[in-house]
Amino acid sequence: MPNRYELLGTHHVEYYVGNARQAAYYYQRAWGFRLVAYAGLETGVRDRTSYVLQQDRIRLVLTSPMGPGGPINAYLDRHGDGVHDVAFMTDDAEAAFASTVGNGAEPVERPHAIEDANGRAIVATVKAYADVVHTFVQADGYAGAYLPGYGAPVGAVQDVTPVGLRYVDHLVHNMPEGQMTPTVDWYGKVFGFHRFWSADDKDIRTEYSSLASIVVANDNERVRMPVNEPAPGLRKSQIQEFIDYNVDAGVQHLAFLTEDILDTVGKLRNNGVEFLDVPDTYYEALADRVGAIDEPLEALRANRILVDRDESGYLLQLFTRPVQDRPTLFYEVIQRKGCKSFGKGNFKALFESIEREQARRGNL
């Protein structure tokens, strides 16, 4: 039966972090996000503080606890800084909640209206897996910067220059071995998501490690989520390293879309963002492998940008190093020129780069 609601894309991604004020500084100065809204003591919130950052259609919410105990501290103690909530825009939050709970999702917060002088929104939350949840946000017509209950930023506002990030292209979830297919099936049953793309350990392997991946998507494919699991290899895969340090399943990385990856990556590097290295040998046969592209090869080599092609076009992508001390959360910058897949041809080069990082950490 078709869903009686529609998911319109990613509304926001909320992180639990140890120090939201300092994290907000990082995402402003390094990534070019604007600080647009705030909740905390000055807005009447006593148990937590949240900074909302935005660049084009990407919203990040950074939340820290204001005292000991409670679920945020429990999350941080177990996982460190990471993604707690992947929130979806919807045309009907009540229907989305009723449908997903009716299909087996565990309810976290029932649908309720929130409002202020800028208008009204309806929100509801269900559990996804481990300590990750999904919030449904119905906020059509709301005129504020984010959601009711949030005020203008209080201090900590930096003068920033956007780096060209447009929207969340996809979010990647890592599962323990044996949990990828059950998780994919759960999203199919509960959300009605379909399988968009997949790769197995024959596609994604190096000399030492391998993994499998299935991408799920909603009907209009505005929400796309690869679900990964480790596969047996000679040594520890990057997925298993994530599971070990995250102490469970979780969101491994967000992919931000740009329309000019050379410009975006150049600005990010100047801002101090650290990317994985790619060996010069990757570029020796690039033209033979991907065919004609618009970008100069030397510019791609200088910026260590990866390129792959499918039947619809090509993509360019690059991945950061982990953005905190635990080797867990990182980011991808991606530009699509018709390509609808996820860079299968780059996986070997990417994973070898990650394995070099793992070896430095003593975790390979």
How confident is the model over 106-153, as pLDDT tens digits?
999 999 999 999 999 999 999 999 999 999 999 998 999 999 999 999
Q: Give the pLDDT confidence of 74-110 residue by residue, as tens digits.
A: 999 999 999 999 999 999 999 999 999 999 999 999 9
Residue 167 pairs in a beta bridge with 257
Strand-by-strand arrangement of the 165-174 sheet:
194-199, 210-217, 224-231, 165-174, 250-258, 330-337, 313-319, 306-310
Residue 205 clears pLDDT 60, i.e. is over it:
no
**Pairwise CA distance, residues 72 & 283, whole Å:** 44
Compute CA 307 distance to the chain's CA centroid, rounded to the nearest angstrom: 20
User: Going by DSSP bridges, is the β-strand pair 330-337/313-319 parallel, antiparallel, or unpaired?
Assistant: antiparallel
Residue 208 clears pLDDT 70, i.e. is over it:
no
Is 237 or 350 the better-scoring residue by pLDDT?
A: 237
Q: What is the pLDDT of residue 202?
A: 44
- The single-letter DSSP state of residue 106 is P
CATH topology of domain 165-361: 2,3-Dihydroxybiphenyl 1,2-Dioxygenase; domain 1 (3.10.180)
- 200 HSE (CA, 13 A, CB side): 3
Q: What is the arithmetic mean of pLDDT over 310-338?
A: 95
pLDDT band at 346 (very low <50, low <70, confident <90, very high): low
Amino acid at 278: V
Nearest 5°: the CA angle 177, 179, 183 is: 150
Q: Which two tokens stand for residue 133?
A: 């949840």
Q: What is the arithmetic mean of pLDDT over 4-28?
A: 97
Amino acid at 23: A
Residue 275 clears pLDDT 90, i.e. is over it:
yes
Q: What is the pLDDT of residue 112?
A: 98
Residue 204 clears pLDDT 50, i.e. is over it:
yes
First to last CA, the chain: 46
Residue 361 clears pLDDT 90, i.e. is over it:
no
**Pairwise CA distance, residues 262 & 281, whole Å:** 20
As a dihedral over the C-alpha atoms of residue 345, residue 349, residue 353, residue 359, rounded to 10 degrees, the angle is 110
pLDDT band at 360 (very low <50, low <70, confident <90, very high): confident
Same fold, 7-138 and 165-361: yes
The whole model's pTM is what?
0.93
Backbone phi and psi for residue 246, each to the nearest 5 degrees, phi listed first: -85, -15
The CATH number assigned to the domain with range 7-138 reads 3.10.180.10
Q: What is the arithmetic mean of pLDDT over 24-45?
A: 96
Do residues 124 and 44 make contact, with C-beta atoms less than 8 angstroms apart?
no
Q: What is the pLDDT of residue 220?
A: 96
Q: Where are the domains of the chain?
A: 7-138, 165-361
**Pairwise CA distance, residues 142 & 140, whole Å:** 6
Q: Give the pLDDT confidence of 154-172 residue by residue, as tens digits.
A: 788 999 999 999 999 999 9
Residue 223 clears pLDDT 60, i.e. is over it:
yes
Of 69-78, 157-166, 331-340, 344-353, the poorest mean pLDDT is in: 344-353
Question: By 3-state DSSP, what share of the chain in percent is helix, strand and coil, each rounded to 5?
Answer: 25, 35, 35
Do residues 333 and 259 make contact, with C-beta atoms less than 8 angstroms apart?
no
**Pairwise CA distance, residues 143 & 141, whole Å:** 6
Strand-by-strand arrangement of the 58-65 sheet:
34-39, 48-55, 58-65, 7-16, 82-90, 132-138, 119-129, 107-116
Of 273-287, 294-308, 341-355, the poorest mean pLDDT is in: 341-355
As a dihedral over the C-alpha atoms of residue 256, residue 257, residue 263, residue 267, rounded to 10 degrees, the angle is -20
Q: Give the pLDDT confidence of 187-199 residue by residue, as tens digits.
A: 999 999 999 977 6
